Structure 1
C-alpha cells in the first residue's frame, strides 16, 4: 500500500516502508533508550494487519468543503480520499458529511478571520460494537438544518448511533470545546474491551487501537500477582485498565482529574456490575501526596500518565507508600525512562521493558514496565 500525501501530512513516518522495517527501527530505538538501565528490552509486539486500526478520526475542512488532515507543523488542510489508518466506513461517513455541509451551505470556520461555523469533525468507532459517534465541532452553538442533516447521515449509515454538536469558540488549536448538544441518539457509543463494556463519548480517553490495546492490557496485568488486596489505578481516564484489573484485586481505587472521565468511569462501573472499585476526581500527584501523608496502604499501583510522564512529587509519594509492585504503562518512553531512573533512586527496580506498536507506521511506541522494591 502507498500513501500519496505522506510527505505533506507527516503523520506517518514509515507509511511507505515495509511494516517490518518500522518495527525494526522501533526496536533499535527502544534498545538504545533503555540501555542505561541495563534491563531486557523485549521485541516490540506488532500487528498482523497494521492498517485501518484507528477508531478515532479527526478531520478539518477547507473553504471548498474538502476534508483532510493538517500538513505537518501547520494548519493547512491536506485533502485526501482514504487514509490507510482509517477503516473504509469512517472515511465514507466523512465524505458524506462534507457533501451535506456543501448541500446545506454550512459555513467553514476561517482561523485567520475567526468567522464561520465548522472547525472539525471527530469520529469515534466501536471496534467490536461497530457503533459510530459523530461529533461536529463548531464555533456556532446553532446548527441550522441539523434535523435534515442527521436524518440523511443516519439513513445512509445506520451504524451511526449518535451525533453531537460540540461548541468551540476558543481561538486556539484545541479541537474540542466544553459545551455539547446531542443532535441524535444518546451522545455516546459503547464498545467491548477485554470482555468488559465501556461508554465512549467525544471527550473520553480511549485507546485508538483496540486490538493492540487488548494485547497491551493483557500483558501488563499478567505481570501483577493474581491476588491483590488494594490496587491504585492512577491517571485512570474512563477506568478501563482499573476495571479490567479488578479481577485480581479485592479493592481498586481509580484516580483521574477530568470530571467527565470520572462520570464515564462510574457509568462503566455500573454497566459491568463491578462494585469493589471506586473512582475519585483528583489530580494524581495531589492524591498520592495526600495518601502518603495519611500512610495509606496499597499493595500495587498502576500508572498510565500522559506523554509528558509523571511528576517527581508523584514518584516520591508513590515510593513512600511502598507498594510491592508499580506497573508503569507509557505512551512516552523517553519520559518513562526519566521516571524509572528516579524510581530507582527510591529503591524500585525493573528487569523488563515490553514495547507495543499501538500506532503502526508512526514513530510512537507504547511501553510496559513492572517495578518492584529491591527488598521484596
Structure 2
C-alpha cells in the first residue's frame, strides 16, 4: 500500500511540474509573439501609427530599424514646400512647379497683366504696374485665393521692395529701399489700407558710400538689406531707424562684386530667427554662411541641420523636414528634364543634382521665376 501511495504522489508531482513548464513556455511564447507582432506590423498599420506622431517623435521612431525608418520618412508631416512660379513670356498664363510631386500647374491671371513681381512671402506676391510716365501702382496678390489688395501709387525709383508678413495679418509693413545717391538711402513704408507712402531719407556712413541694396529679408521684426558689396543694412519699422551692421562681408562676395558676378549669384533668407547667405561664384559650388550677430561676423556652415533652402533672385525661403526632398540642400529656381527635377546642391554629398547639367543655372533669367509658398494642405489645383 505504501508503494502505491508513493507512486501516486510522484505522478501528481510530475503533472504539476508539467503544468508549470507549459505555463512558462506559453508565457515565453506569448512574449515572443508580442515582440514579433511589433516587429512585423503590416505596413498600413505602421504607417497609421507613425503618421500620428509629431515630427520629433517620428524621427525617434525612424531610428528603430531600417523598415521603420523607411515608413516613418514616407509619412513624416513636414513643412509645405514652396512652389516655383514661372512668369509668362506672353499672355497671362503662369506655371507653378511643385518640387515634391514634380508636377506643374498652369493658370491664367489677367489681374497681373503688365505687372512685375517684386517679392513674395506667406503665399502673397508684391507687384507693381507702371502708371503714366514715372508713377507705379503697387499691389499685393494671392494667386491661391485670388485676393488682391491695392496700395498707394508712388514714384518708381526703388532698388528693392518687400513686406513683413501676409497683409491679412496684423502689423503688415510694405517697404521699398531706394538708392538716392552715394550718401543717401530712402526708405518708404506703407500698410494695407494706407492712402500714401511714408518716405524718410537716411544718411549712409562714409565707409558705406555707394552701397546699392538688392536683397531683402524680414527677420525678428527687422528688415535686413544686403548690398552688392556684402554689407547689411537694418531697418526697424517700429522705431523707423536705419543702420548698417559692423559685419564685414565674406571675402567671396567682395571678389564677386569686383568680377561683376553679383547680380544673380547670391541669395539671402532666414530660418527660425537666423539669417543665411548663399553665394555661388561663376557656377562653382555654393558657399553657405550664417550670420553670427554676437560675434558680428558671417560664419561658413557645412550643414543646414536638415533645413532646405529655396533660392531665387527676388526672394528666398527655407523649410525643415520637407517630405520627398533632399534635406540639407539648396534648391535653385530652375527645372530640368522637362519639368521633372529641380536643380539642387547637397551639402552632405558636396555635389549638384542632377549631375553634369547644373552649372548653367546661373544663366537663367533671374526675373522669370520666384519661389512662392502655397497654403498648408493646399489641394485646390489637383
- TM-score (structure 2 length as normaliser): 0.30
Q: From the two aligned structures, give the one with the greater helix fraction.
A: 1
Q: From the two aligned structures, give the one with the greater strand fraction.
A: 2
